Amino acid sequence: MFIQFIRENQSISLVFTVLRIYLGWEWLRAGWGKISSGHFDASGFLNGALQKVSGEHPAVQPWWGSFLKEVALPYVDIFNVLVPWGELLVGIGLILGIFTSFSLLMGLTMNFAYLFSGTTSTNPQMVLLGMLILVAGMNAGKIGLDRWLMPLLRRLVNKRSGGEQLPQST
């Protein structure tokens, strides 16, 4: 009943628009801050996370520490580009309401990566809001570019696939 309400109620789409723009602004600020500073280096963050792997109750789980040590640190130059630009693009997507669900999924992926790395900050609140907006589906992007873009994409895909009807998301 609650999920149906947040996916279909016209009035609640305004609430989700405000929440979506708030999250977008937070992501945009974080990404732009890193980009405009001219020097973002994730290696300090990654090394700090690796220090949290040990102990009786580690803040960072060993499997995640292995990922950080074996993948993230050796390729930190790639992460130095992906993180700020990913944050900026998630922010733009959420503010404009374009590819809202995809933008939220990418934002949630980053939030969880930060949480897995032992950082709390605003990530839990962003995860909670992001999941609510994600569950709202198209209702969260109704006041945004998704309102026009998604039906257009649906028609293009439908035309390409030989006229099969694709299910409508709510």
**pLDDT values of the chain reduced to their tens digit, one per residue, 170 residues:** 889 999 988 899 999 999 999 999 999 999 999 999 988 999 999 999 999 999 889 999 999 999 999 999 999 999 999 999 999 999 999 999 999 999 999 999 999 999 999 999 999 999 999 999 999 988 888 899 988 888 888 888 888 877 655 556 55
CA–CA dist 80, 125 (Å, integer): 24
CA 18 to chain centre: 16
Give the pLDDT confidence score for residue 141 in this predicted structure.
Answer: 83
Give, in degrees to the nearest 5, the angle at Cα 105 between 100 and 108: 120
pTM score of the predicted model: 0.86
Tokens of 9: 């109620």
Nearest by Cα to 83 from 41, 130, 24, 37: 41
CA–CA dist 119, 121 (Å, integer): 6
CA–CA dist 120, 167 (Å, integer): 38
